[in-house]
Amino acid sequence: MSRFCSIVLAIVFSVGSLLAQAPPKVKVLILTGVNNHQWAATTPVLREILEQTGRFEVRVNEEGRGNGPETFAPYDVLLLNYNDYKQTAGPWWDNRARQAMLDFVRNGKGLVSYHASNNAFWGWDEFDKLVGGTWRDTAGHAPYHAYTVKIVDPENPITKGMPASFAETDELYHLLSMQPGIHVLATAYDDPKNCWKPNQGCGTGKDEPLIWTLKYGTGRVFQTALGHDVKAMQGAGFRLTLVRGTEWAATGEVTIPVPADLK
């Protein structure tokens, strides 16, 4: 065998070895198509944020009706950018799609609930249990503004290595209906001086939970209340917690590093 052929074979074997060591991409299905937020603008950004890490392969489904176990089976994690709150037109999820989502997570896979998705499925108690914290009768938010998100569990795989806090300009959800069993990762102080009108629609004066995890059956759920619109989605803290939370929901582990400029 010539020296040239030996070198080529060595390169091929080396590349093959590296490829064999690389973990398979996490398969993500974004479920959207209805929202009282701008889903058509935010969905491509969600996809871009995930795919630019190189860790995810992302598909989008804008039609919830008729989904079933066979729809979700090829994926590791579902990402909800869906919200039927105060909507007058569908397409609405049917019972088969709802049950398929529950079974998908309950049997060991992952779910990410993004921002206003926790406003979805009013009256469906099992969804409230699934995502752990939902926008119901008590919920609200003061005006969109700049605030500081504080990490309250720095040892969790999703937040480990991140700075103790990061800046966001966003909505700050408050008084969500919280379920037992959630594990809060990050909160923000809801300043009572921030009001829609004098002494009306103000912040609560409390630290409000914004990012959390929970188990559902043998599966994992990651919820972020951040990312109201495309502008808010540019925040480094939102983007990093989204990708790390999605990986955790899908696999139970986090391999995506914290960028050096965020440590």
Residue 202 belongs to domain with CATH number: 3.40.50.880
Domain that holds residue 250: 23-262
The answer to whether the peptide bond before residue 192 is cis (omega within 30 degrees of 0) is no
The whole-angstrom separation of Cα 187 and Cα 210 is: 5
Beta-sheet strands, E only, within 62-206: 77-80, 110-114, 133-134, 140-141, 145-151, 165-170, 173-174, 177-178, 183-189
Query: Is the distance from CB of 180 to CB of 207 less than 8 angstroms?
Result: no
Identify residue 197 by its one-letter amino acid code.
K
Q: Is residue 18 part of a domain?
A: no
**Both structure tokens of 253:** 């582990």
pLDDT reported for residue 4: 41
Residue with tokens 């001086």: 193
> How many CB atoms within 10 Å of residue 207?
15
Closest by CA position to 46, among listed 118, 114, 143, 146: 114
Query: Are the C-beta atoms of residues 223 and 213 closer than 8 Å to each other?
Result: yes
**14-58, pLDDT tens digit by residue?**
444 444 567 899 999 999 999 999 999 999 999 999 999 999 999
Number of domains in the chain: 1
- Report residues of the chain scoring pLDDT below 70: 1-21, 87-89
Q: Is residue 56 part of a domain?
A: yes
Residue at 148 is within a domain:
yes
In a domain, 5, yes or no: no
How many Cα neighbours within 13 Å face the side chain of 213? 22
pLDDT of residue 50: 98
Cβ neighbours of residue 92 closer than 8 Å, sequence gap 6 or more: 34, 64, 65, 84
pLDDT value of residue 247: 98
Residue 4 lies in a domain: no
Residue 55 located in a structural domain: yes
**Is 144 within a domain?**
yes
Phi, psi of 175, deg, nearest 5: 55, 40
In a domain, 9, yes or no: no
